[in-house]
Chains A and B, each alone.
Chain A
Amino acid sequence: MELSTLVVGGGFGCAVVFGWVAGRTNFCTMGALSDIVNMGHWGRMRMWLLAIAVAVAGTTALAHFGLADLSQAVARRPTLPWLSLLLGGLVFGVGMTLAGGCANKNLLRLGAGSVRSLVVLVILAISSYMTLKGLFGAARAAWLDPIAVDLKHLGFADQGLGTLTAGWLGLDPRASAAGVAAVVVSALLAFVFKDARFRANRAQVLGGATLGALVATGWYVTGHLGYGENPETLETIYHATNSRTIESMSFVAPLAFGLELLMLWTDKSLHVTFGIATVLGVVAGSAAHALASGSFRWEGFASLADLRNQLVGALLMGFGGVTALGCTVGQGLTGISTLAVGSLLAVAGIVAGSVATLKFLLWRAENE
């Protein structure tokens, strides 16, 4: 089997499981924040944190045993564009709250029959593409990305917490990465499992662990199975990834690349990639769950206000997701699994933007 086919098939398979599990457990990062702000309920947040803990443990283990070179991941690059990460995250957080869910949630909804989410995803993909290569991208590249810290100049090979700790304390980088991951994972697991109600919720426990494991599996697929010789150039490359390096689950830029592929299908330099396959896989997994559970139902826009909120949210998510180098999954699970400082900044921005918007919605409802 060609490596490209293996990577695309592996990405699709992981994403089908991701879509099924996320649909079954109602996994939603915006919903997790809304539950906390509106009702003080931490169940879905604990599920997200459990997924992060498992993703960090699995991803660190892959790197530790030489099965994936995380230093090649986009999230770990030695240049830290902190303003883009924070601002992009903030804008994404506002957008996902206005749209009633992030890119992942809209893929899940589409699988469950929401035509409204299809429209949201198309606008999100256009906005994402505009931020990668178009009008928004010019502004991003001119005004935001240059505001960055060059960690290489400061003597660090990448922005992983393990690498930074090793540099500061003069430790072996491999041991340092394992040590930092052990501390982070232990702290997360202690918080997640201290709640008896969460411990008793088998679906959320299994769901969170599975989603985290799928992120680590994605790194393995692109970074180990898909890392090999290109028969045409004899170079060793990462096959079938848009970034041409190691990748795992992420949805905002892959939506743009999917749209590009559809629009420029006759351009033979474009192919189905791991990212595009994961977008399709999540929809397929969610659809399979919705059909099997009898929860599939067609859904459209209900009002002009609904349409307005969804479209503005989609536009903001496309810009914010690309600028922050990922969404709630791309940074909130995948990026953070590499323990990159930039991913922590992006997630902080997403949470701040979403919580601020949730509090505004609450304030507006109480003052109507």
Chain B
Amino acid sequence: MTTLESGKTPSRRLGDMALRLILKPEAGIAIVLVILAVIITIANPAFATPTNLLNLLRSVAIIGIVSVGMTYVMIVGELDLSVASTLALSAVTGALMTQYFIWPVAVALGLMTGVAAGMVNGLLVTKTGVNSFIITLGTLSVFRGLGLFESEGIPVRGLEELTPIGQGTIGPVPVQVVILLAVVIVGQFVLSRTSLGIQIHAVGDNARAARLAGLPVARLKIIAFALVGFLAALAGLIRTAQLGVAEPNAAVGLELQVIAATVIGGASLAGGKGSVTGSLLGACLLGVMANAFVLLRLSSFLQVIATGAIIILAAVFDRLRVKLWSA
């Protein structure tokens, strides 16, 4: 009935491997990015200038940093809709704490707020067994409300010491871009080269098998949520440093862009799949699109449509890829 020995010759295998490399989600987006860049440059040479590209990366930093964390959450098989609220809550909390503590302590408290928010999500999801979509839809509102409540809805000044992070550069490169790259490198390293990374993949791929193999499934999920909380807080502080003020209404709707970047980068809502570099490329693709609409003087309304279309295309492409693999 079933043929057991696959009769593939080595050369055929090599061909398969090459095909698979091209079909990797990262490669796909990279190709799309390059093609898009060429087209935009032809239409408006201002695109390919270092200033524009660095500004583009600067604009990508916040979404990029949060999508690294989102990648972990999605690989482990969950979703976090509360990241934008966590971002604002952490920034506001950090800024408010400057009234009581010296700034490094305030920064630390801001980051810890993010971690705590993530852990709350993780604990609620793993202890109640309620779908993370619903839990984080709830905490999206709760965390946003907390930020508004503690700031009384008014933007908070403070953390002027962080201004170099938001506005400074290292050489020609904006500091926040350096932070983004550092987060991506560490994030990808942990994901592919540590025990944690393999365990997170395992849980998202087949939670039952992971449990049978003795993996601490709940703890791994909480870690992923705490990580995205931490990175959201980091992004919030960077945003504060950029603007000189922490807004309780900051980044509304950011979670959708972050999820979009992650999905474009190859992550699946079903879990087990995704890569940090893919998510970065996804964020860059969204950034290039936004940039192109400005440079080409196209309606920003069209941009909204195009962003949606890209998400759908990425997901459809992913389905095709899976089919090609199994064929």
A and B interact physically: no
Please list the residues of chain A having a beta carbon within 8 angstroms of any beta carbon in chain B.
none
